[in-house]
C-alpha cells in the first residue's frame, strides 16, 4: 500500500483483508481528518486495536471522540485489566455515563442506549423549546429529531418531534402540544424485541425508561440496523449447524473457526452414530436383500430435506414474531397437512422412477413392484415425520429456554436419519415379508 | 371480538391470526383515529384489502393518507385492472409522483425512495434556510432531518442536517457551510447495497441521484430496517431449501405453501435418485459385506453436515460483503484447511467408536480394525469434500448470476451424498480388497 496516497475509502475496501498488525500500520497512513472519520466507522474491536497502538499521549483524544454508548462497546471488547486505564482517559461526566452503561447486558435496551438525548420542560412555550433545542444541538446529544419532555424528577411525560415543534403555534405550551401516546422500552428489553418495535412503528428513536417511568436514555435507529443484521447473521450461522462466529468470516482465526464448527459437527456425528447402531439391527435383512440398501440414502435424505425446510421456516417465523409459542397447535396442523402433501409428491416420484427402471432394465429383480411400493410408502412416512419434527423442534427449544435457531438443518436431519431408517425397514418388513425378506 | 372495545393494539395482536374477511370486518370496529393509525401500520396488501372493502365514497380519503412511496407499494399489490381506478383517487401531483415511482423495480433505490424531501438553495443564509425549512415541515416532506441543496436544474450540490443548520452562524451562506462529501445512490442501486450503506455510515437518509447528478428522491432508514429484515428472511428461507414465502408464515395459503416447498424438494429428490443409481453399482459389494451398508448413513450425513456449515457461513459472508467474489481463492485455502481439520476430528471419533465396539462386542467380525480404518479415511475424504463443495457453490452461483443463498444446506447435502458414496466405496475397495471384498 502506497503510504502517500491511501484514502479512507481505499482502506475501508482493504480493511477486511488485513491482519490486526497491518490494520494498525495502514491506519497510520491516513490524514488526520480521514483517520478520525475512519476511526468512528470501524468496529469497536478495531477501535481498541488502534487505541492500544497509539502513543499514550494521544490515546485520550481518540477515545474522547466516541459517544458514551460507543465507548462502552469499546470497553466491553477490552481485557479486564485494561479497562481502568481506558476509563481514566475519559472526561469525568462521560466516565460516569459509561460506567452506568457497562452495568447493562450488551444485548439489552440498556446496552444499546445513549444517555445523551434532547430534553424539554412541559411548561416551556414552543418558541422557547426551539431555542432550548438549538442550544442542546451544540452539545453532545445523540439526535435532536425527538425532544423528550421530562418533569423535575426525570419522569417521561411526552415527546415532540422537531417537526411537530416546527409546525406548532409558537406561543402554546409544550405540555399542550406534546404527544403522550409514546412507544418506550424497559432497560432489560431484548434488542430483538426493540428491533421489532422500530420495524413495526417506523421509528427513529425509542426512549428507555425504568420501572418508575424515569427516562434513562434513547436507542436510535442507526444502531438497530446493525442489530437486525447481526441477529439474522447469528441465526443463519446457527441454522447452518455451527456456533455464531461473532466476527466477519475472514477475520476469524483458523483455530477458532475450526473450534466453532467442530463442536456441533462432532455432536451431530455422535448422534449420527446411532444410525450405525440402528443399521446393525437390519444387517441380516440387508445381507438377504442388498437391493434395500440401495434406497437408504434416498429415504433418509428426503426426511432430512423436508425437516430442514420446515425448521427453517418456523425458526424465522418465530424470530419475526409472525408465529408465537402459543400457535404451536395451529402450526402442527398446517405442517401435518403440508408434510402429507409433500410426502405424497415425493412418494409418487419415487414410485414412478422405480417402476420405469424396472420395466426398462429389470433393475430390481422379481419383486420390483413391491420394492417400488415399499419405497413410496416409506417416503410418505419419512417426509411427514421429518416435517413434523422439523417444525416442532424450534417450539420445543424455545419452550425450554434455548434459542430456536439451534434447531439447525443438520440437527434436524440427524434426528430424522435414525427414525427414517426405522420407518423404512419397518415398512419393508411389512410389505416384503414372505417375498424378499 | 367485542365490537365496542377493540383497540388498535388488540387488533395488531390478533391481526396475523385473522383471515382476510375477518380483518376487514374487525378493522371496521376501530374508532376513526385508531383506524387511521392502524391503516398506516399494516402491510400494503392489507391496506389494499381495507380500501377494496370500503364504500367508494371514502376510498379516496384512505388512499390519500399514504405518502407517494407507500401508495406506489399498494398499487404494486393491486390487480392490473384495479390500478387505473385507484390511481384516479389520488390528487394530481401525487398521481404524477406515484407513476414515476411505479416505473422503478420494487427492490431498487428507485422503488424505495420518496420524492418528497426538504430542499434548500445554495445562496440562502442559514437563518433563511431555517425559516424555509420550517415552512417545508408543514408540507408533506418525508423528513426534515436533512435538507438537500439543489441548483436551479435540480443538481445535488450538498446536504445539511438540521443540526448543522442549527449550529451554523445565522448569517453565513448555505453554500459555505453545507457538506459536499455526501453518500448517494443511483436509481437502480439494489436495496441490499443501500442497506449496507446505511449500516456502514449510520445514516438516516440517502439521496438518490440520476446519472447527471440530479436529485430524484431520498431513501429513509425506517424503510431500510424492513429491507434488512426482509432480505435476511428471503436468504434464510432459500437456505432452508424452499422458495422465499414472500408473506408471514401463517398468512401463506396451504396450497401455495406446499407449492413453494414442493419445487425444491422434488428437485432435490431427483438429484438424490442418483444415489440409488450409484448404490446400484455397489450392490454386489454390499451383498458380499453387508457391514459396509451399516456406515452409509453416517458417512453421507457427515459430508452433508460439513457442507451445510460451510455453505451457510459463506452465503452470509457474501450477503454482508464480508467476502467478495474475488476472495474465492483465499476462502478455498481456508476451507481446505478447515475441512481437513474437521475431517480428522470426525475420523478419529469414528475410528475410536468402531474399535471400542469391536473390542467389547466383536460387532464387526474378523476385519473390525480394517473397517474402522476404512470408515475413518472415508470420513476425512467426505468431510473435506463436503466443506469444499459447500464453500465453493455460493461463489459459483454468484459468478453465474444466481442468488448464492440458493446453495441451501439441503442442496449441498444432496450434491455431496452421491460423491460421498463414491468416496466411501472407493476407499473400501482399496483397503478391503482381498479380505472382505
Print the SS3 string covering B296-361. HHHHHHHHHHHHHHHHHHHHHHHHCCCCCHHHHHHHHHHHHHHHHHHHHHHHHHHHHHHHHHHHHH
Contact assignment for A266 to B242 by CB distance below 8 Å: no
pLDDT tens sequence across A25-74: 777 788 888 888 888 878 888 888 888 888 888 888 888 888 888 888 88
- Looking at the structure, do residues B315 and B269 belong to the same domain, yes or no? yes
Residue A326 has pLDDT above 80, yes or no: yes
Partner residue opposite B349 with nearest CB, options A17, A233, A269: A269
Residue A243 in domain = no
CA B174/CA B158 separation, integer angstroms:
9
- Looking at the structure, do residues A393 and A258 belong to the same domain, yes or no? yes
Quote the minimal CA–CA distance from A81 to chain B in Å: 31
- Looking at the structure, do residues A327 and A216 belong to the same domain, yes or no? no
User: Phi first, then psi: what are they for A333, rounded to 5°?
Assistant: -65, -45
Q: Are B375 and B354 in contact (CB under 8 A)?
A: yes
Residue A16 in domain = yes
Contact assignment for A275 to B297 by CB distance below 8 Å: yes
Kindly report the pTM of this predicted structure: 0.75
Handedness of CA A212, A215, A220, A223 (dihedral sign): negative
- Three cell numbers written together for A12: 475501508
- Looking at the structure, do residues B228 and B255 belong to the same domain, yes or no? no
Instruction: Show residues of chain B in contact with A390, CB under 8 Å.
Output: none
What pLDDT is attached to residue A159?
Answer: 93
**A2 pLDDT tier (thresholds 50, 70, 90):** very low
- Nearest by Cα to B16 from A58, A107, A321, A256: A321
Ranges A104-118, A121-135, A179-193: which has the least confidence: A104-118
Contact assignment for B41 to A200 by CB distance below 8 Å: yes
Instruction: Show residues of chain A in contact with B286, CB under 8 Å.
Output: 286, 290, 293
Mean pLDDT to the nearest integer, A10-20 = 72
What pLDDT is attached to residue B365?
Answer: 76
H/E stretch holding B408: none
Tell me the percentage of chain A whose pLDDT exceeds 90.
29
CA B290/CA B284 separation, integer angstroms:
10
- Looking at the structure, do residues B46 and B192 belong to the same domain, yes or no? no
Contact assignment for A272 to B414 by CB distance below 8 Å: no
Which of A92-106, A305-319, A331-345, B68-82 is the most confident on average?
A: A331-345
- Looking at the structure, do residues A267 and A317 belong to the same domain, yes or no? yes
Using DSSP bridges, classify how beta strands A185-186 and A156-161 pair: parallel, antiparallel or unpaired: unpaired
Q: Are A151 and A157 in contact (CB under 8 A)?
A: yes
Domain boundary among A238, A263, A290: A238
CA A219/CA A198 separation, integer angstroms:
10
Q: Are A278 and A422 in contact (CB under 8 A)?
A: yes
What pLDDT is attached to residue B381?
Answer: 96
Residue A235 has pLDDT above 80, yes or no: yes
Residue A1 in domain = no
H/E stretch holding B420: helix B409-432
Residue A406 in domain = yes
CA A281/CA A264 separation, integer angstroms:
27
Residue B110 in domain = no
Half-sphere exposure of B336 (CA within 13 A, CB side): 6
Domain boundary among A238, A273, A294: A238
Q: Are B405 and B315 in contact (CB under 8 A)?
A: yes
Contact assignment for A241 to B305 by CB distance below 8 Å: yes
- Looking at the structure, do residues A413 and A273 belong to the same domain, yes or no? yes
Q: Average pLDDT over chain A, rounded to whole?
A: 86
Number of structural domains found in chain A = 3
Quote the minimal CA–CA distance from A19 to chain B in Å: 14
What pLDDT is attached to residue B413?
Answer: 87
- Looking at the structure, do residues B190 and B318 belong to the same domain, yes or no? no
Contact assignment for A300 to B298 by CB distance below 8 Å: no
- Looking at the structure, do residues A371 and A395 belong to the same domain, yes or no? yes
CA B210/CA B208 separation, integer angstroms:
7
User: Phi first, then psi: what are they for A131, rounded to 5°?
Assistant: -65, -40
**How many beta-carbon pairs under 8 angstroms link A with B?**
368
Partner residue opposite A293 with nearest CB, options B203, B293, B300: B293
pLDDT tens sequence across A148-193: 999 989 999 999 988 888 888 888 999 999 999 888 899 888 888 8
Contact assignment for B199 to A225 by CB distance below 8 Å: yes
- Three cell numbers written together for B295: 456406515
Half-sphere exposure of B281 (CA within 13 A, CB side): 11
- Looking at the structure, do residues B90 and B224 belong to the same domain, yes or no? no
Handedness of CA A266, A268, A274, A276 (dihedral sign): negative
Residues lower than pLDDT 70 in chain B: 1-6, 13, 16-17
CA B55/CA A275 separation, integer angstroms:
63
What pLDDT is attached to residue A3?
Answer: 42
Contact assignment for B327 to A250 by CB distance below 8 Å: yes
What pLDDT is attached to residue B6?
Answer: 65
DSSP three-state, residue B410: helix
Partner residue opposite A313 with nearest CB, options B144, B237, B410: B237
User: Residue A29's domain is classified under what CATH number?
Assistant: 1.25.60.10
User: Residue B387's domain is classified under what CATH number?
Assistant: 1.10.357.20
Quote the minimal CA–CA distance from B99 to chain A in Å: 24
Partner residue opposite A258 with nearest CB, options B266, B314, B341: B341
What residue in B sits closest to A343 (Cα-Cα)? B262
**A316 pLDDT tier (thresholds 50, 70, 90):** confident
pLDDT tens sequence across A345-386: 999 999 999 999 888 887 777 788 899 999 999 999 999 999
User: Phi first, then psi: what are they for A64, rounded to 5°?
Assistant: -75, -10
Print the domain residue range for B191. Answer: 118-238
Quote the minimal CA–CA distance from A175 to chain B in Å: 20
Q: Which residues, in sequence order, are CB contacts of B306 under 8 Å at separation 6+?
A: A261, A265, B339, B342, B343, B346, B382, B383, B386, B387, B390
Partner residue opposite B279 with nearest CB, options A163, A293, A311: A293
Quote the ipTM score: 0.74
Extended beta strands in A239-282, E state? none
CA B211/CA B255 separation, integer angstroms:
44
Residue B437 in domain = no
- Looking at the structure, do residues A257 and A234 belong to the same domain, yes or no? no
CA B181/CA B207 separation, integer angstroms:
12
User: Residue A151's domain is classified under what CATH number?
Assistant: 3.10.580.10
Angle, vertex CA A393, rays to CA A388 and CA A397, nearest 5: 160
Residue B82 in domain = yes
Instruction: Show residues of chain B in contact with A237, CB under 8 Å.
Output: 312-313, 316
- Looking at the structure, do residues A361 and A415 belong to the same domain, yes or no? yes
pLDDT tens sequence across B386-416: 999 999 999 999 899 888 888 788 888 888 9
- Nearest by Cα to B314 from B332, B301, B298, B297: B332
Domain boundary among B72, B104, B136: B104
Residue A244 in domain = no
Contact assignment for A304 to B304 by CB distance below 8 Å: yes
H/E stretch holding B274: helix B254-281
Amino acid at each position: 500500500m502506497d503510504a502517500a496516497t491511501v484514502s479512507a475509502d481505499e482502506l475501508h475496501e482493504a480493511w477486511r483483508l488485513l491482519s490486526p498488525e497491518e490494520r494498525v500500520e495502514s491506519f497510520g497512513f491516513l490524514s488526520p481528518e480521514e483517520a478520525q472519520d475512519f476511526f468512528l466507522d470501524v468496529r469497536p474491536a478495531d477501535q481498541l486495536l488502534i487505541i492500544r497502538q497509539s502513543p499514550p499521549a494521544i490515546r485520550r483524544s481518540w477515545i474522547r471522540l466516541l459517544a458514551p454508548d460507543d465507548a462502552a462497546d469499546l470497553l466491553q471488547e477490552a481485557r479486564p485489566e485494561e479497562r481502568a486505564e481506558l476509563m481514566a482517559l475519559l472526561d469525568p461526566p462521560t466516565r460516569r455515563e459509561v460506567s452506568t452503561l457497562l452495568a447493562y447486558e450488551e444485548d439489552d435496551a440498556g446496552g444499546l442506549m445513549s444517555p445523551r438525548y434532547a430534553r424539554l420542560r412541559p411548561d416551556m412555550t414552543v418558541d422557547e423549546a426551539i431555542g432550548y433545542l438549538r442550544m442542546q444541538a451544540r452539545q453532545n446529544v445523540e439526535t435532536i429529531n425527538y425532544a423528550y419532555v421530562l418533569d423535575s424528577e426525570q419522569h417521561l411525560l411526552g415527546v415532540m418531534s422537531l417537526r411537530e415543534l416546527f409546525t406548532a403555534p409558537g406561543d402554546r405550551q409544550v405540555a399542550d402540544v406534546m404527544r403522550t401516546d409514546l412507544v418506550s422500552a424497559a432497560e432489560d428489553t431484548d434488542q430483538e424485541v426493540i428491533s421489532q418495535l422500530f420495524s413495526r412503528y417506523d421509528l427513529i428513536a425509542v426512549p428507555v425508561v425504568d420501572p418508575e417511568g424515569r427516562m434513562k436514555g434513547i436507542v436510535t435507529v442507526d444502531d438497530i440496523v446493525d442489530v437486525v443484521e447481526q441477529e439474522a447473521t447469528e441465526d443463519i450461522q446457527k441454522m447452518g449447524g455451527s456456533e455464531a462466529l461473532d466476527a466477519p468470516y475472514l477475520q476469524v482465526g483458523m483455530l477458532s473457526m475450526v473450534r466453532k464448527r467442530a463442536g456441533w459437527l462432532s455432536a451431530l456425528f455422535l448422534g449420527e452414530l446411532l444410525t450405525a447402531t440402528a443399521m446393525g439391527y437390519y444387517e441380516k435383512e440387508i445381507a438377504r436383500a442388498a437391493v434395500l440398501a440401495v434406497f437408504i440414502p434416498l429415504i433418509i435424505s428426503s426426511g432430512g430435506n423436508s425437516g430442514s425446510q420446515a425448521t427453517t421456516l418456523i425458526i424465522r417465523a418465530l424470530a419475526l414474531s409472525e408465529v408465537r409459542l402459543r400457535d404451536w397447535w395451529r402450526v402442527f396442523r398446517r405442517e401435518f397437512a403440508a408434510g402429507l402433501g409433500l410426502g405424497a409428491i415425493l412418494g409418487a416420484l419415487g414410485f414412478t422412477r422405480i417402476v420405469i427402471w424396472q420395466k426398462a432394465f429389470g433393475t430390481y429383480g422379481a419383486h420390483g413392484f413391491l420394492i417400488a411400493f415399499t419405497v413410496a410408502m416409506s417416503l410418505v412416512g419419512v417426509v411427514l415425520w421429518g416435517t413434523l419434527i422439523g417444525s416442532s423442534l424450534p417450539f420445543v427449544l424455545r419452550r425450554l429456554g434455548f434459542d430456536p435457531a439451534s434447531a439447525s438443518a443438520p440437527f434436524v436431519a440427524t434426528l430424522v436419519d435414525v427414525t427414517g431408517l426405522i420407518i423404512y425397514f419397518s415398512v419393508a418388513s411389512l410389505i416384503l415379508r414372505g417375498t424378499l425378506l
